[in-house]
Structure 1
Amino acid sequence: MIPFGKTIRLFLVDGTANGLTTAELSNWTGIGVKVPRIKVKDYGSRSEFQKPGVYILIGKGDNNEDAAYIGEAEIIFERLVHHIANKDFWNEVIFFGSKDKYLNKASVRYLENRLHDLALKAGRFKLDQNIPTRSELSEAEQAELEEFLANIKVLTATLGHKIFELLDETVQIDSNKPQVFFCRSSLGASASGTQSTEGFILFKDSLVMQKEQPSLPISIKAERKTMIQDGVLVLQGEYYRLTKDYILSSSSRAAKLVLARSASGPLEWKTEAGLPLKSFE
């Protein structure tokens, strides 16, 4: 299916990006709102805050990892005030409601469950919460809410957080298949990956050099250490094995992580036929 373009209207309520931002799609009854934690109470009387909806609290976890909490409420403002008093980790919230009376308790509980499922599958943010209960709805109601959900996903990313985006959705596709590149060394490292709209995706089960060379940048050493602590890299013989797809900001950063030394991604990453990534850029 050929994707259709979307028109998104962002409105900075007080004229700055540090206050309340609303996001709307043409021909959609929903509305998205982003607001910093410290300004939630300033806008509590607005109509968007006094309706049912789903929300995403966004912040950092104990290890400075991206963290989120997904919830629903019949009155968004009341629930956010509760979280201000009881949850410390978040500094921003994005929530979604309806400009009419489309959403009710059953529909927001359905959306909460589905958003939680999408966030878990994407694996970008740490979610420290139980799985929300999904409402029992008719097939027709679910179909309508899945369309509402798709718009939430688009607007959440537009507002700066790709919590629901699968890595597969960011790859650079040519003729419906992503171009796979390989990074190998004579010492046994063997990794595969592909370009992404966010940088470079290192594929699961890639083998990474264990011994680090003096030329390896400090920032890569720190990232490797964190990956080992989080179980993203596990020891396998004389190498580390990647336990899940992992995104890095550039092909060079990915090559350095794999080879444990200074490296140029456009030259180190090659197709199976030996063509370097540089020739595709």
Structure 2
Amino acid sequence: MNTGRSLRLFLVDGTPHGLLTAEIMNWTGHVLTGPRSRLAELVQRDECARTGVYFLIGPDPDDSLRTRVYIGESDDVAQRLKQHNRPEEQGGKDFWERVCLITSKDQNLTKAHVKYLESELITVASAAGRCVLGNGTVHGNGKLPESDRADMAFFLEQIRIVLPVLGFEFLREQVKPSAPVAPAAPAMQSPRFRIESARQTLLAYGQEIDGEFVVLKGSRARGHWVGVEGGYQALFQQLVAEGVLVADGGEHLTFSDDYAFRSPSAAAAVVYGRAANGRTSWVLESTGQTYAAWQEQQVERAEQPDGESL
């Protein structure tokens, strides 16, 4: 079982949409994040004069449903951010709306450390597949002593813990139960659910894993969107364009890989090709109980005193 962590958040100006700092107990790292509209204030803070890694985050100009992320490092982050704030034709970057900076409270991060971290972070983000990377080239991670590499591995682990708390999901590993060599089972994993439609000959399987609803590889979905325009239509079309949904030679589309949705309703809508209530559409593979009933049962069980059953 995973152990708990204590995370300290500080709203610099007391508002939820301004500058924010985050720290994990017993970690030397320090996180500073804020919107691009507050860049003038952000670059004046002491953290921006330190050595660190940073993320520029915003919608992908070529696909608004995707997040674009640029990962960088610098001895003087403030100067780099000022350069990135220029128009595209002047060497800047137009896409980003938020910035997130990681430095060290003890200021022991060196240029070699952050170059190593930058390379590792690019590798992790690329493997996770949750964003479009804005980095044109991947630099070598350089040479570090073995002890320093171990320190940076721990530092990277803490970054991957704190960023999702701040709403940045692009470093989260996507669990794929259908993979030939599946990772260790997550702490929060449901039984398998299915959607079956004899009329449309649809058959899909899914699991709730770490707060996401994962439709499994090989699941069969409708061959085209038949619902009203809007809603999850853009997501359906995106999955077709990205090759997640592929033609099976007939009237259907097949999931070429496991895919994590934000909700069971999003998953059900893509399978059906129209809006759908995922809480009632998905049923337990073993009993036929709906997702909604299963979830309610979990809550009721949690409320029972030890030793009692429903």
Stretch deviating more after TM superposition (42-51 or 107-116): 42-51
1:73 paired residue number = 74
1:197, distance to aligned residue in structure 2 (A): 4.3
Task: State the Cα deviation string for residues 185-217 of structure 1 (Å, max 9, x = none).
Answer: 223322221114444222233221114445x67
1:139/1:201 CA distance change after superposition, 3 Å: same
Q: Which ranges in structure 2 are unaligned for 5 or more consecutive residues?
A: 87-91, 177-184, 296-310
Alignment of 1:1-281 (within 5 A): 2-62=1-61, 63-64=63-64, 65-85=66-86, 86-129=92-135, 130-168=137-175, 178-186=190-198, 187-214=200-227, 218-237=230-249, 238-276=251-289, 277-281=291-295
| Separation (CA, whole Å) in 1 of partners of 2:173 and 2:263 | 18
Task: State the Cα deviation string for residues 170-199 of structure 1 (Å, max 9, x = none).
Answer: xxx798864222222223322221114444
| Separation (CA, whole Å) in 1 of partners of 2:229 and 2:216 | 22
When the two structures are aligned, how many residues end up with a matched partner?
276
1:197/1:3 CA distance change after superposition, 3 Å: closer
The SS at the match of 1:4 is coil
2:189, 2:208 within 8 Å by CA — same for their partners in 1? Answer: no
1:47, distance to aligned residue in structure 2 (A): 1.5
1:56, 1:70 within 8 Å by CA — same for their partners in 2? Answer: yes
TM-score by length of 2: 0.81
The SS at the match of 2:16 is coil
The SS at the match of 1:27 is coil
TM-score by length of 1: 0.89
| Separation (CA, whole Å) in 1 of partners of 2:100 and 2:39 | 11
1:227, 1:233 within 8 Å by CA — same for their partners in 2? Answer: yes
1:92, distance to aligned residue in structure 2 (A): 0.7
The SS at the match of 1:58 is strand
| Separation (CA, whole Å) in 2 of partners of 1:261 and 1:32 | 41
| Separation (CA, whole Å) in 2 of partners of 1:234 and 1:174 | 28
**What is the identity, as a one-letter code, of the residue corresponding to 2:152?**
L
| Separation (CA, whole Å) in 2 of partners of 1:58 and 1:261 | 31
| Separation (CA, whole Å) in 2 of partners of 1:131 and 1:166 | 20
| Separation (CA, whole Å) in 2 of partners of 1:33 and 1:178 | 35
2:188, 2:209 within 8 Å by CA — same for their partners in 1? Answer: no
| Separation (CA, whole Å) in 2 of partners of 1:50 and 1:261 | 51
Question: RMSD in angstroms over aligned alpha carbons?
Answer: 2.3
Task: State the Cα deviation string for residues 49-88 of structure 1 (Å, max 9, x = none).
Answer: 1011011100011221211011111111111111111100
1:175/1:36 CA distance change after superposition, 3 Å: closer
1:166, distance to aligned residue in structure 2 (A): 1.7
